[in-house]
Amino acid sequence: MNKILNNKKAIFIFVFPAMLLFTIAVILPIIISTYYSLLDWNGIGKSTFIGIKNYTTLFVNNTDGFIKSVQNSFILAILSVVIQLPLALVLALILARGIKGEGFFRTVYFIPVIISTVVIGQLFMKIYNPDYGMLNIILKNIGLSKYENAWLADTKTALFATFVPIVWQYIGYHMLLMYAAIKSVSEDIYEAAKIDGASAFTMATKITIPLIKPILQVCTVFAVVGSFKSFDLIYILTNGGPLHASEVPSTIMYSTIFNKYMYGYGSAMSTFIIVECLVFTLIIYRLFKEKKIKEA
C-alpha cells in the first residue's frame, strides 16, 4: 500500500493544479498587495517607492476619514457581538432543546443567509425610503409619525441604517452553528441535572453555554472579522455616504483604488484590513483560552 501512496507522480498530479491556482489567485496577490502598499502609484505611470509613508498618512493626522471608517467597523463588530450572537444563542437554545416545528424554524431562520446581498440591499432601500418605505409607513400608522426620517440620507442615521440588514442577515448562520454544538451535548447531563432539580434556565446557563464555548469562539471570530471586512451591503445601500457618514475600511479602499486611482495608498488600506483580522482572531482566541483555563 505504501508504495502506491508514495507515488510521487500521482501526488503531483493530484495536488499541483489546486496549489498552482491557489498560489496565483490568492497567495501572489496578497504578497503583491503588500508590496504595492509601499509605493506611490496611480496604476498607469511610474511608481515611486515610499516605504511606510502610506501607512503614516493613514494613521497619523489622517484627513481622508480612514480612522473614522475603522471606528465604524469597530461599532459594527461590537453590535454584531452584542446583538447578533445573543439573539442567535437564544434561538439556538430554544430550538435545540426540542420544540414542535424545529426543522421548519431552523430552515426558515437560515434563509436570509442564502439571499444575495444585492437583493437584501434593494429591499432595505425600499424599506428605508422616506416617502413610501415600509418603515416610515409603519411609524405613521402607529402614530409615531414624528420619528419618520430619510434613514439612508441622514448623516446621523445612515451608519446604523446600514448595520441593520448586515446584523439581520447572519443571525441564522450563527444560530445554526450554535444549534449544531448544542445538539452534540449528551442528553445524560441534562437528565442528571433535571433530577437534581435544575430549571431550564439554569441548565442553559450552567451546562449548555460552558460546553459550547468552542463554537461561541468560532462565532465571535466570524462576527468580528466579518464586520471588519464588511463591504457588499454598505456599498449597495450608501456607498459610504452621505458625506462619508457610513464609510467602512473596505468602501474607502474600493473608492481609493478605483475612483481615485491611488493604488499604493489603497493597498496599504487592504493590508491593514488583513492584519487587523489576523490580530483580532488571535486576541479572541486568547480571550477564550483564558476563560477555559479559569474554569479548569
Q: Which residues pair with 48 in a beta bridge?
A: 40
CB-based burial of residue 88 (10 Å sphere; 0-12 exposed, 13-18 middle, 19+ buried)? Answer: buried
Question: Largest Cα–Cα distance of the chain, in whole Å?
Answer: 79
Question: Which of 72, 116, 119 has its CA nearest to residue 241?
Answer: 72
Q: Which is nearer to other proteins, 28 or 287 (CB)?
A: 28
Residues in a beta bridge with 40: 48
Nearer to other proteins, 46 or 100 (CB): 100
Give whichever of 57 and 117 is closer to other proteins, judged by the CB atom: 117
Distance of closest approach, residue 175 Cβ to other proteins, in angstroms = 10
Grid cell of 125 as nine digits: 432601500
Grid coordinates representing 35 are 508590496
List of E strands, the chain: 39-40, 48-49
Residues 6+ apart with CB under 8 A from 30: 274
CB of residue 72 to other proteins, shortest distance in Å:
16
Quickly count: other Cβ atoms within 10 Å of residue 47's Cβ: 16
| Nearest distance from C-beta of residue 64 to other proteins, angstroms | 18
We find the least distance from the C-beta atom of residue 42 to other proteins, in angstroms, to be 12
CB of 27 to other proteins, least distance (A): 8
The least CB distance from residue 156 to other proteins, in Å, is: 24
Q: What are phi and psi of 153, to 5 degrees?
A: -100, -10
The residue among 158 and 253 lying less far from other proteins, judged by its C-beta, is: 253
Q: Which lies closer to other proteins via its Cβ, residue 244 or residue 250?
A: 250
Question: Which DSSP symbol is given to 207?
Answer: I
Question: Among residues 156 and 278, whose Cβ is nearest to other proteins?
Answer: 278
